[in-house]
Amino acid sequence: FVSFESVVMGPPDAILGVKTRFLKDTSEQRTNVSVGKPVVLEAVKKAERLILENDARIKEYLPIAGDPEFRQATKEFCFGADAKAVKEDRVATVQALSGTGALRVGAEFLNTHFPGTQVYIPDPTWGNHFKIFGNAGLQTHKYRYLDVKTRGLDFEAMLADLRKAAPGSVVVLHVCAHNPTGVDPTTEQWAKIADTVADCKLLPFFDSAYQGFATGDVEKDAFAVRLFEERGLPMLVAQSYSKNMGLYGERIGALNVVCPSKDAMTRVMSQLELVVRAMYSNPPRHGAAIAATILTNPELRAEWLVELKAIVDRILQMRKGLREAIEATGAPGDWSFITNQIGMFTFTGLSAEQVASMEKNYNIYMPSNGRISVAGLTDDKLDHVAAAIRSVL
Ligand SMILES: Cc1[nH+]cc(COP(=O)(O)O)c(/C=N/[C@@H](CC(=O)O)C(=O)O)c1O
């Protein structure tokens, strides 16, 4: 029988748990570089004013699949309005509890209809990927991704590992701004990955959590997904608006499943709705209303894209500043990876011990894998972070 007394303590989350420790730290020099610091965008504030004025049905249930306007807008944002799969209505799209929820609904759907499916996940990857797919009952495997020597993509090893996967296996691919490494395939490498996926009959499950955060251009950042769509490949794509709209706590995202026909899409939609209904019934309204308003209102969309570009430009400045601050300490080694990597994070290669020492002596808070959220840096913190890194080399 159930006895809550027998429940053991679970481990703190490797990423979200860091912020908890940061908040307990009262020192002046405490610095949180673990997760993004959500600035509320002007476009979001304006969208919320519009929603409050116009949306009379503000508290009704949404349909199981979510806000219809959001679903169409997010699909077009991901694949492009002119994508064949979109125009032929072959993409099954359900609103999701952000990227995590999209991945989980997709994993449950796969396990329900294709039990025993093997899922190949990059090494390293986002800290939650293995648990999401594992908890849904799927078999997870690593594929080599980062070459720790060059700090670049271990491309041949990645392809070799994918070629070893059984046909029908799922391969998780970060669309852009790979977390935690900040290392992405080049466009030529994406073409070869698409060839390998097609030849080996693998099923891509794209994780699109940073569209717009890699280059500041939302169209360019969707390159990989759109290349695979143009090839006519089936795929799943999990989307998140946590980072690119700063809607973290609104939990707004989507799961897209590209199907071979409109009829198949209709059947997949019906099965996705069964997963959603039994998991949380239907999704929250507010985040979907914000995202749909920004995506479909031309003035707000334009304003949003300008704000997003400014955020990405500031991150590039912080990368340059951090690299120069570290080099100014006379730190040994090549720090060019800090400005070569893209997206929100830089993967420093610091060990868990070095990270713990930086927390203890310099009150720097970051995940034990050595990832620094550059988005969390400000000019006045650069020298402090650089000194902390210098102290552990
Ligand atoms: C690659 C990736 N995919 C999905 C998510 C899910 O985010 P959501 O808010 O559910 O849409 C995150 C979040 N990453 C950051 C926060 C977290 O760990 O949840 C992070 O890596 O810091 C990712 O980095």
- List pLDDT tens digits, range 185-198: 999 999 999 999 99
Instruction: Tell me the CA–centroid distance for residue 332 and ligand 1, in Å.
Output: 32
pLDDT over 90 at 247, yes or no: yes
**CA distances to 95, 108, 112, 169 from 135, in Å:** 21, 9, 13, 17
pLDDT over 70 at 36, yes or no: no
Return the pLDDT at 35. 80
The pTM of this model reads 0.96
Establish whether 37 is a catalytic residue. Answer: no
Return the pLDDT at 34. 87
ipTM of the complex: 0.99
Percent of the chain at pLDDT exceeding 70: 99
> Which two three-digit tokens encode residue 72?
């169409």
Q: What are the pocket residues of ligand 1 if the criterion is a CB atom closer than 6 Å to any ligand atom?
A: 15, 35, 98-100, 126, 128, 174, 179, 207, 209, 240, 242, 248, 253
Residue nearest to atom 8 of ligand 1 (CA): 99
Pocket test for ligand 1, best of 121, 174, 179 (most atoms within 8 A of CB): 179
Instruction: Tell me the CA–centroid distance for residue 199 and ligand 1, in Å.
Output: 30
| Atom of ligand 1 minimally distant from the CA of 99 | 11
Strand residue runs (E) in 241-276: 252-258
Residue nearest to atom 22 of ligand 1 (CA): 35
Catalytic residue among 75, 207, 221, 304: 207
The span from the CA of 259 to the CA of 236, in Å, is 9
Instruction: Tell me the CA–centroid distance for residue 10 and ligand 1, in Å.
Output: 20
- List pLDDT tens digits, range 120-145: 999 999 999 999 999 999 999 999 99
pLDDT over 80 at 146, yes or no: yes
- List pLDDT tens digits, range 321-336: 999 999 999 999 999 9
Residue found by looking up tokens 């090494």 in the block: 123
Q: Cβ contacts of residue 28 below 8 Å, gap of 6+?
A: none
Return the pLDDT at 151. 87
Establish whether 89 is a catalytic residue. Answer: no
pLDDT category at 217 given cuts 50, 70, 90 is: very high
Establish whether 243 is a catalytic residue. Answer: yes
Average pLDDT, the chain: 96
